[in-house]
Amino acid sequence: MTQEMIKTRLQEELKNFGLNPAEWSLQKVRSLGYVVQNNIDKSFSLYGTTTFRHRKPIWQSLELHSL
């Protein structure tokens, strides 16, 4: 699975947290860590950690990064 495929899958998984995937962009900052930034309000971001389950990336946690 390529990095782009992983990011796309994780972006779609945001809906499991009640977020609209189209309103957020992801930036990888660590091997399993991403900053998830709101596309409209750039000062609003989350930090998420990921893991793999059945060889597919999933969010392990999402927390407020900045407001």
Q: Please say if the pLDDT value at position 1 is more than 90.
A: no
List C-alpha distances in Å: 17 to 2, 10, 12, 58, 62.
24, 11, 10, 12, 8
Whether the model clears a pTM of 0.95, i.e. scores above it, the answer is no
**pLDDT tens digits along 48-61:** 999 999 999 999 99
DSSP state of 29: -
Model confidence at 67, pLDDT cuts 50, 70, 90, reads confident
